[in-house]
Amino acid sequence: MTLLNLVLALPALGFLALLFVPRDKPQVIRALAIAVALIAFIASIGLATGLRSDVPGMQFATDVIWIPSPEIHFHIGIDGVSLWLVILSAFLTPICILISWRFIDKRVKEFYAFLLLLEFGLIGVFISLDLFLFYVFWEVSLVPMYFLIGIWGHERRIYAAVKFFLFTMSGSVLMLVGIIYLYNRAGTFDYLAILNQMAGGKLSFTPGQELLLFLAFFIAFAIKVPLFPLHTWLPDAHVEAPSAGSVMLASVMLKMGTYGLLRYCVPMFPEAARRCAPWIIVLAIIGIIYGALVAMVQPNMKKLVAYSSVSHLGFVVLGIFSFTQLGFDGAVYQMLNHGISTGALFVLVGYLYERRHSLAIADFGGVATPAPWLSTVFMITMLASIGLPTLNNFVGEYLVLQGAAQANFRWAVFAAIGVILSACYMLWLYQRVFYGDTPEPVAEHVYDLNRREWAAVLPLVAMMVWMGVYTPSFLPPITRANTAILDQSRMNVRFRVALPPAPYLTAREVPRAR
């Protein structure tokens, strides 16, 4: 049993264990949930320290047959890209449990059970190396999130939950068609084996087929990202979800989409991806600017953060479809940054909601007077989100812009407008909520951070600074993995047979095609 299996199994075991705890013991349930989540997180750090830089390809791999016919493997493994996303999931789950400690007081057992099940699904998505297994985890993560929004959300929760489910589902059934089609052609669901066949020239598509396959995967991922104009489920889901749901949704779940683009669309369908890239980039840039503009006029704090996510995720897509090393690195780094800083924003907005029981910006003002520490932490998070140098987002945005500029300078110019706009809406939000006169209800209800709240938010702030000032802790494995993906993608386009297989592929022999 490798460490990776342990990281995957812990949340699932925690989920099962929770089902057997009597429901009238909420303290036991909370304690168990956070214990499991913390152990999983510690174990996931072991992955980072154990990932070797001198070994190419997937590490911590497990490959056993799950279903013999059609052959479906339980094949998992990580490289530098999935590593950090796994850690991000494991890092945020205990934080989500902490921020829900008091806030969730009905059906406590189900809440934490679903949260752990969600963690299981998310980690599974990032480590699957079998397309079928990937699809299974992809769908499995959908169910707990649906319940988290639908049961513990705000007023319009049911609408939001159903919309969320249906949007994702309609995208993913198309992906399923694509997966089955690939299987019928390649005779395997194994991701590395399929790449190998493509590299060896055994498996090739006509441009039309490749385009359709690319779109089948791309639409599923684009809905999840969400890419303009498929983003409409996101504001609803974010606003209605409970804080923990919003955090997991924004910080990890959206990354399923961008991860999918990077891991599957780019190397498997390189020509179609390149052909579509200009269109996708246009959509991404529209998303960046549109998201920022809409965020600016939102009267609701959560909605504002939700639209800012649309804008930030546009950067990630831009980075990926620039097809440059810097763009890829920036995209992955930006995925993590967005996870940390937007997660923190949702945590803080959640704190404000717990105090004032409102999300409307107009109901706040002068919060800095009764709650100076809360304001300070919010300030740091906001600056990180804007992209202030020395904080994390700056690094990611810079790399993406640099990469985009290498590909086409105009893209970078338009995208940079988004950075400026993000400063506008964020600073304006901060001004309206934290400065000015303190109205009576705010002075009465808003208090400063307590110890539990500190415990949840301090690690996030620490990460913002760490990722902002010392990138060598994080970037090298990402770069290595991205180089492999980029090589793979390039090789499949131009020198289909001429080059030896990328180091990425040496981990596995080519299985016989059926």
User: Quick one: which of 170, 431, 450, 473 contacts another protein (CB under 8 A)?
Assistant: 170
- Which residue do the tokens 């400026």 mark? 420
DSSP letter string over 455-497?
HHHHHHHHHHHHHHH-GGGTHHHHHHHHHHHHHHHHHHHS-TT
Comparing CB distances to another protein, the nearer of 177 and 427 is 177
User: Quick one: which of 74, 103, 181, 414 contacts another protein (CB under 8 A)?
Assistant: 181
> Smallest distance, Å, CB 272 to another protein?
17
Query: Is residue 70 within the footprint of another protein (CB under 8 A)?
Result: yes
Query: What letter does residue 156 receive in the DSSP assignment?
Result: T
> Smallest distance, Å, CB 68 to another protein?
5
The site that binds another protein (CB under 8 A) totals a number of residues, namely 33
User: Quick one: which of 41, 91, 101, 165 contacts another protein (CB under 8 A)?
Assistant: 165
304 within 8 A of 429, measured Cβ to Cβ: yes
Comparing CB distances to another protein, the nearer of 81 and 142 is 142
> Smallest distance, Å, CB 106 to another protein?
9
Q: Restricting to residues 273-312, name those near another protein by CB under 8 A.
A: none
Q: Residue 248 and residue 94: Cα distance in Å, rounded?
A: 11
The piece of 160-168, 198-206, 325-333, 355-363 that touches another protein (CB under 8 A) is 160-168
Instruction: Determine the residue type at 426.
Output: M
Q: Restricting to residues 19-58, name those near another protein by CB under 8 A.
A: 23
Comparing CB distances to another protein, the nearer of 120 and 290 is 120
Q: Compute φ and ψ for 25, nearest 5 degrees.
A: -120, 70
Query: Is residue 218 within the footprint of another protein (CB under 8 A)?
Result: no
Q: Residue 403 and residue 412: Cα distance in Å, rounded?
A: 8
DSSP letter string over 267-286?
HHSHHHHHHHHHHHHHHHHH
Comparing CB distances to another protein, the nearer of 137 and 425 is 137
> Smallest distance, Å, CB 310 to another protein?
23
User: Quick one: which of 16, 55, 158, 379 contacts another protein (CB under 8 A)?
Assistant: 158
User: Quick one: which of 11, 26, 80, 150 contacts another protein (CB under 8 A)?
Assistant: 150
Task: Build a one-symbol-per-residue string for 345-384: x at contacts with another protein by CB under 8 A, - elsewhere.
Answer: ----------------------------------------
> Smallest distance, Å, CB 414 to another protein?
34
364, exposed or middle or buried, with CB in 10 Å at 0-12, 13-18, 19+? Answer: buried
Q: Residue 320 and residue 415: Cα distance in Å, rounded?
A: 14
432 within 8 A of 361, measured Cβ to Cβ: yes
Query: Is residue 143 within the footprint of another protein (CB under 8 A)?
Result: yes
Q: Residue 511 and residue 348: Cα distance in Å, rounded?
A: 50
Comparing CB distances to another protein, the nearer of 19 and 282 is 19
Query: Is residue 183 within the footprint of another protein (CB under 8 A)?
Result: yes
Helix residue spans in 241-320 (DSSP H)? 243-248, 254-260, 266-268, 270-296, 301-320
What the block records as the tokens of 442 is 């705010």
Between the CA of residue 212 and those of 245, 276, 367, what are the distances in Å? Answer: 34, 11, 52
Max CA pair span of the chain: 73
Query: Is residue 207 within the footprint of another protein (CB under 8 A)?
Result: no
356 within 8 A of 364, measured Cβ to Cβ: yes
User: Quick one: which of 174, 286, 293, 388 contacts another protein (CB under 8 A)?
Assistant: 174
> Smallest distance, Å, CB 180 to another protein?
5
Establish whether the linkage from the previous residue to 226 is cis, with ω within 30° of 0.
yes
Query: Is residue 250 within the footprint of another protein (CB under 8 A)?
Result: no
Burial 227-263 (b: 16+ CB within 10 A, else e): bbebbebbbbbbbbbbbbbbbbbbbbbbbbbbbbbbb
The piece of 165-173, 258-266, 335-343, 389-397 that touches another protein (CB under 8 A) is 165-173
Task: Build a one-symbol-per-residue string for 7-26: x at contacts with another protein by CB under 8 A, - elsewhere.
Answer: ----------------x---
Comparing CB distances to another protein, the nearer of 216 and 485 is 216
Comparing CB distances to another protein, the nearer of 62 and 209 is 209
Helix residue spans in 153-202 (DSSP H)? 157-186, 191-199
User: Quick one: which of 16, 67, 360, 362 contacts another protein (CB under 8 A)?
Assistant: 67
DSSP letter string over 364-417?
---TTTT-HHHHHHHHHHHHHHHT-TTSHHHHHHHHHHHHHHHH-HHHHHHHHH
> Smallest distance, Å, CB 373 to another protein?
36
Query: Is residue 245 within the footprint of another protein (CB under 8 A)?
Result: no
The piece of 42-50, 52-60, 67-75, 266-274 that touches another protein (CB under 8 A) is 67-75
User: Quick one: which of 9, 28, 180, 361 contacts another protein (CB under 8 A)?
Assistant: 180
In this structure, the number of other CB atoms found within 10 A of the CB of residue 19 comes to 10
User: Quick one: which of 27, 53, 69, 206 contacts another protein (CB under 8 A)?
Assistant: 69
Query: Is residue 135 within the footprint of another protein (CB under 8 A)?
Result: yes
Burial 155-178 (b: 16+ CB within 10 A, else e): eebeebbebbbebbeebbebbbeb
Which residues lie closer than 8 Å to 318 by C-beta, 6 or more apart? 281, 284, 285, 288, 327, 331, 400, 404, 411, 415
User: Quick one: which of 61, 169, 417, 443 contacts another protein (CB under 8 A)?
Assistant: 169
Q: Which spans of this chain sit near another protein (rule: CB under 8 A)?
A: 23, 67-70, 107, 135-137, 139-140, 142-143, 146-147, 150-151, 157-158, 161-162, 165-166, 169-170, 173-174, 176-177, 180-181, 183-184
